[in-house]
């Protein structure tokens, strides 16, 4: 994200030249090996001697022909190119090359060099493989040096050794970075400017029963950015039959935009066919848990993907509830095998409205279930908070976000701004504050004494 055109070009040029440098000797060996085989011109001195070398050590070594070896190297080389068992395979091939060279006619290849192209390619291939063995963390990695110098992507950075980085969710849903909700007021800006934003969250219902411009825009955005679908009508807690017509449209939309995942809320929206168009609070009872688990499993089977459920903001509670919301959500995620979208602002809003400890809530959320976080602004009415999504995120919620990040690891984070929506830049810069807070938190985690996560109650 954020690369300039020059950097992007340099990045691609570096990758292309690396690929060419690697594939050239492989292709040459394939061509030469094939030619020797078909013309019967090659006597495969090296291979004969290599076989004898291993035989003298009583190690069986198959007597393959040239074309077989050439293909083996080619296929192995492609495997290396795509990063499959890179270092192990490269090390084995390097060893075979070393054996081939030491069993050759004692320096003969040097005299023929570069007249005998097979020896030339063997040698260049060997050099390349040695480089590949050292590639990555080694100081001799050309890619690493160039990438550092040019400030471009280069090879994937080594995995950080902080606890945070190892906390992947169980489906390996990606940490998409920092996104915002896709809103029509920003359509033109996005299409014209191609802003450097990590991803967008799309309100599913806005694009289900519509065509024309919204869908046309969505298709274009989907081509350029990773998307996630977020719905408000799944009504997982309702006692009404599951709406398979809705699910059919949701599934089609998710496939159309290649959604990274699909989310909705832990709530119910109505009963007896009546839709309140609101996210109503659940009674947190064992009976409700059983009921919701079964529905989530059915929904996931139909969608053929795990969904993520979000903790909604609530303003009242059922007297019949026997579970804290966080434990209910955690149990639901475990038993239905679904993900969690943790809305940090909603945790704060509900904690204010009902008087519970928001950090204790987060402590009870299983980290391997969390695939996304939400942040938003709200309206504090003094006696209660209304989840209005119409303002900047308050400092207390940012603090809670840092805490959630420490507890749950780096997951895709989205800023919601749904009323009085300011310019794209304002919303995006608010979302990017999350990156700053995460970086601060990760910097602290590099200090071992600060990396200890306080247990709930400490």
Q: Which is nearer to Fe ion, 119 or 201 (CB)?
A: 201
Find the shortest distance in angstroms from Cβ 345 to Fe ion: 7
Q: Residue 232 and residue 309: Cα distance in Å, rounded?
A: 10
Nearer to Fe ion, 129 or 309 (CB): 309
Positions touching Fe ion (CB under 5 A) are: 343, 374
Q: Which is nearer to Fe ion, 217 or 397 (CB)?
A: 397
d(CA 458, CA 455): 6
Cβ nearer to Fe ion, comparing 367 with 374 = 374
Nearest CB to Fe ion, comparing residues 22 and 200: 200
Please tell me what DSSP assigns to residue 198: S
Distance of alpha carbon 426 from the chain centroid: 26
**Cα 118 to chain center, whole Å?**
43
Cβ-based nearer residue to Fe ion, 50 or 313: 313
User: What is the closest distance, in whole angstroms, from the C-beta atom of residue 254 to Fe ion in the complex?
Assistant: 19
Q: What's the closest the beta carbon of residue 232 comes to Fe ion, in angstroms?
A: 10
- Any idea of the CA torsion for 120, 125, 131, 135, to the nearest 10 degrees? 160
Rounded least distance, CB 390 to Fe ion, Å: 13
Helix (H) or strand (E) holding 261: none
**Which residues have CB under 8 Å from 125's CB, separation 6+?**
25, 26, 29, 73, 93, 97
- Nearer residue to Fe ion within complex by CB, 152 or 308: 308
| Distance (Å) of CA 324 to CA 70, 299, 342, 371, 442 | 64, 24, 15, 21, 30
Distances (CA, A) of 266 to 75, 98, 173, 189, 278: 49, 62, 20, 33, 12
Shortest distance (Å) from residue 343 CB to Fe ion: 4
- Spatial contact of 146 and 155, defined as CB atoms under 8 Å apart: no
The whole-angstrom separation of Cα 415 and Cα 347 is 15
Q: Among residues 265 and 359, whose Cβ is nearest to Fe ion?
A: 265
| 354: its two tokens | 């009902």
Q: Which is nearer to Fe ion, 201 or 363 (CB)?
A: 201
Q: Return the H-helix or E-strand segment holding 455.
A: none
Tell the smallest beta-carbon distance from residue 341 to Fe ion (Å). Answer: 7
Give least dist CB 374 to Fe ion, A.
Answer: 4
Q: Are 117 and 28 in contact (CB under 8 A)?
A: yes
Instruction: Tell me which residue has tokens 């995942």.
Output: 261
> How near is the Cβ of 362 to Fe ion at its closest, in Å?
15
Smallest distance from Fe ion to CB 311, Å: 8
Q: What is the C-alpha separation between 356 and 380, in angstroms, rounded?
A: 17
Closest-approach residue to Fe ion (CB): 374
Cα–Cα distances in angstroms (integers) from residue 255 to residues 162, 173, 219, 275, 371, in the given order: 35, 16, 11, 26, 19
Nearer to Fe ion, 293 or 397 (CB): 397
Backbone angles phi, psi at 379, to 5 degrees: -120, 120
Please state, in angstroms and rounded to a whole number, the distance separating the CA atoms of residues 350 and 106.
Answer: 79
Q: Measured from the CB of residue 1, what is the shortest distance to Fe ion in angstroms?
A: 23
């Amino acid at each position: 994200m954020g690369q300039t055109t020059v950097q992007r070009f340099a990045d691609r040029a570096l990758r292309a030249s690396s690929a060419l440098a690697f594939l050239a000797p492989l292709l040459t060996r394939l061509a030469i090996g094939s030619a020797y085989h078909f013309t019967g011109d090659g006597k495969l001195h090296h291979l004969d001697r290599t076989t004898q070398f291993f035989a003298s050590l009583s190690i069986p070594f198959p007597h393959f022909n040239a074309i077989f070896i050439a293909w083996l190297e080619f296929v192995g080389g492609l495997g290396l190119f795509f990063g499959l068992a890179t270092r192990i395979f490269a090390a084995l091939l390097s060893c075979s090359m070393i054996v081939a060279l030491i069993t050759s006619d004692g320096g003969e290849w040097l005299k023929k060099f570069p007249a005998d192209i097979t020896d030339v390619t063997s040698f260049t291939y060997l050099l390349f493989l040695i480089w590949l063995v050292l590639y990555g963390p080694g100081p001799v990695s050309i890619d690493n040096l160039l990438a550092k110098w040019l400030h471009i992507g280069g090879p994937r950075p080594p995995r950080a050794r902080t606890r945070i980085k190892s906390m992947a969710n169980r489906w390996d849903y990606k940490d998409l970075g920092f996104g915002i909700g896709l809103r029509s007021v920003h359509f033109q800006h996005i299409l014209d400017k191609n802003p450097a934003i990590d991803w967008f969250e799309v309100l599913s219902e806005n694009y289900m029963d519509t065509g024309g411009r919204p869908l046309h825009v969505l298709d274009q955005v989907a081509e350029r950015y990773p998307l996630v679908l977020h719905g408000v009508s799944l009504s997982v807690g309702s006692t009404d039959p599951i709406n398979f017509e809705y699910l059919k449209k949701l599934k089609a939309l998710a496939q159309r935009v290649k959604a990274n995942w699909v989310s909705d809320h832990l709530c119910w929206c109505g009963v007896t066919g009546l839709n309140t168009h609101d996210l109503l609070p659940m009674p947190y009872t064992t009976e409700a848990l059983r009921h919701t688990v079964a529905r989530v499993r059915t929904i996931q089977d139909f969608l053929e993907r795990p969904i993520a459920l979000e903790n909604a903001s609530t303003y009242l509670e059922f007297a019949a509830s026997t579970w804290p919301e966080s434990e209910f959500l955690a149990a639901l995620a475990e038993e239905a095998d679904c993900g969690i979208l943790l809305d940090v602002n909603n945790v704060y809003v509900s904690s204010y409205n009902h008087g519970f400890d928001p950090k204790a809530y987060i402590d009870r959320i299983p980290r391997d279930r969390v695939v996304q976080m939400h942040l938003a602004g709200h309206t504090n009415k003094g006696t209660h908070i209304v989840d209005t999504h119409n303002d900047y995120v308050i400092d207390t919620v940012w603090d809670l976000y840092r805490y959630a990040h420490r507890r749950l690891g780096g997951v895709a984070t989205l800023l919601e701004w749904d009323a009085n929506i300011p310019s794209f830049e304002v919303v995006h810069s608010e979302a990017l504050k999350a990156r700053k807070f995460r970086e601060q938190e990760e910097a602290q985690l590099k200090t071992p004494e600060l990396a200890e996560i306080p247990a709930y109650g400490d």
